[in-house]
């Protein structure tokens, strides 16, 4: 065999992960998230979803793909996960997309106040222009979307329920994203910035008086223990968060095509479980808080419109002015309203 021929064969092997990977090869992947750990059948549904994903992919790949799951930010800090995936230092994570807004401004659209107000609208994004463009942006930034997971959210309060914008005046409130904070500030609130797994301590000490977060987090982080009132998402909300299961593109690209497709297929199949679980938690959170004696109220259309009007002139405007890319995403998202 000539040197040129040998080089040609080696080059072909290097370009083909299928040829390089023997049939018995096993790929071990790590999934990180910030939520409390549980089991396949018990606990926070976001942790359960990662376990269901891992079990199903391992089964269908006949053990070629295996996963270790690290709940409760036990592998790395919450806000380090997105960046780690982009660098290939973390394989997968289920994380609120807006947490990465400082790194990739476009993703703040995943928690834009009043832009998504129902699950039907939220889950329509994936196949709409806005979803396709957001997925493209993430792919270009080194992230592959596996499961589109949306959650409605409500507000737990140490004192009175917060329904109308006037109710928020003078209160220290956690919004969950820069855009949510802009709306709250315009309503007269003082904003507090921290991830959802740190809300309990802040409310316990009084450093924060109220917090917006998903219905599931309102339950999982036991915020009923430090709250006296709850505004639910049962009747609609201006707080809908996209917190998908994502994968490092550099890790994804190293896998054979059949394994890539398997990951995408199982991820998509679990979206129905996520939707069902989110809706159940919107109702369950009310039951949990009522049992502790908290005053439980629902958002109403009139109050929702007031919040949305504030958001349009603050958060939406600020976001669209960041870049042509952000302006285009917002335009596409408004088509789904």
Residues 6+ apart with CB under 8 A from 315: 112, 113, 179, 180, 182, 183
| 8 Å CB contact between 196 and 263 | no
Q: Tell me the pLDDT of the chain averaged across its residues.
A: 93
What are the structure tokens assigned to 285, written together? 């959170």
286 in any annotated domain: yes
Fill in the DSSP letter of residue 25.
-
Domain region containing 90: 29-335
What pairs with residue 179 in β-bridges?
A: none
The CATH number linked to 265 is 3.40.190.170
Quote the pLDDT of residue 206.
95
pLDDT tens per residue, range 38-89: 999 999 999 999 999 999 999 999 999 999 999 999 999 999 999 999 999 9
Q: Is the pLDDT of residue 20 over 50?
A: no
Q: Is the pLDDT of residue 144 over 70?
A: yes
Average pLDDT rounded to a whole number, residues 86-110:
96
- The number of domains in the chain is 1
Dihedral angle of Cα 17, 20, 22, 28, to the nearest 10 degrees: -60
pLDDT tens per residue, range 195-240: 999 999 999 999 999 999 999 999 999 999 999 999 999 999 999 9
Q: Is the pLDDT of residue 122 over 70?
A: yes
How far is Cα of residue 72 from the mean position of the Cα atoms in its chain? Answer: 15
pLDDT tens per residue, range 287-324: 999 999 999 999 999 999 999 999 999 999 999 999 99
Only one residue has tokens 């196949």, namely 127
Query: Which one is predicted more confidently, 201 or 16?
Result: 201
10 in any annotated domain: no
Quote the pLDDT of residue 23.
44
**What is d(CA 221, CA 231) in angstroms, rounded to the nearest whole number?**
16
2 in any annotated domain: no
44 in any annotated domain: yes
Average pLDDT rounded to a whole number, residues 180-196:
96
153 in any annotated domain: yes
pTM for this entry:
0.87
If you write DSSP's letter for every residue of 227-279 in order, what string do you get?
A: -SEEEESTT--S-EEE--EEEEHHHHHTS-HHHHHHHHHHHHHTHHHHHHHHH
| 8 Å CB contact between 161 and 167 | yes
Q: Is the pLDDT of residue 17 over 90?
A: no
319 in any annotated domain: yes
Quote the pLDDT of residue 158.
98
**What is d(CA 130, CA 136) in angstroms, rounded to the nearest whole number?**
10
13 in any annotated domain: no
What are the structure tokens assigned to 239, written together? 């707080």
At residue 29, the 3 state secondary structure works out as strand
Q: Is the pLDDT of residue 30 over 80?
A: yes
Quote the pLDDT of residue 7.
52
What φ, ψ does residue 52 adopt, rounded to 5°? -65, -40
């Amino acid at each position: 065999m000539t040197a040129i021929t040998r080089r040609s064969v080696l080059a072909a092997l290097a370009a083909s992960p299928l040829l390089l990977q023997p049939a018995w090869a096993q790929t071990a992947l790590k999934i990180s998230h910030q939520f409390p750990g549980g089991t396949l059948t018990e606990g926070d549904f976001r942790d359960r979803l990662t376990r269901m994903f891992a079990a199903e992919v391992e089964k269908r790949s006949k053990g070629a793909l295996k996963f270790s799951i690290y709940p409760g930010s036990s592998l790395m800090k919450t806000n380090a996960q997105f960046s780690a995936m982009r660098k290939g230092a973390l394989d997968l994570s289920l994380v609120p997309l807006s947490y990465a807004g400082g790194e990739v401004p476009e993703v703040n659209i995943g928690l834009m106040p009043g832009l998504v107000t129902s699950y039907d609208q939220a889950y329509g994004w994936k196949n709409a222009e806005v979803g396709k463009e957001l997925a493209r942006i993430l792919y270009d930034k080194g992230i592959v979307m596996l499961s589109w997971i949306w959650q409605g959210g409500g507000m737990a309060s140490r004192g009175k329920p917060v329904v109308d914008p006037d109710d928020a005046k003078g209160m220290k409130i956690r919004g969950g994203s820069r855009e949510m904070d802009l709306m709250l500030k315009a309503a007269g609130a003082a904003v507090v910035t921290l991830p959802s797994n740190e809300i309990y301590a802040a409310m316990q000490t009084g450093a924060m008086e109220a917090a917006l977060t998903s219905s599931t987090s309102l339950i999982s982080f036991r915020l009923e223990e430090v709250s006296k009132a709850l505004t639910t998402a049962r009747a609609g909300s201006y707080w809908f968060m996209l917190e998908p299961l994502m994968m490092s593109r550099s890790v994804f690209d190293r896998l054979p095509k059949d394994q890539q497709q398997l990951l995408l297929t199982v991820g998509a199949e679990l979206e129905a479980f996520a939707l069902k679980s989110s809706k159940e938690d919107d109702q369950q959170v009310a039951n949990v808080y009522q049992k502790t004696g908290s005053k439980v109220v629902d958002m109403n259309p009139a109050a929702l419109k007031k919040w949305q009007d504030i958001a349009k002139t603050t958060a939406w405007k600020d976001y669209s002015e960041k870049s042509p890319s952000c302006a285009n995403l917002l335009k596409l998202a408004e088509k789904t309203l």
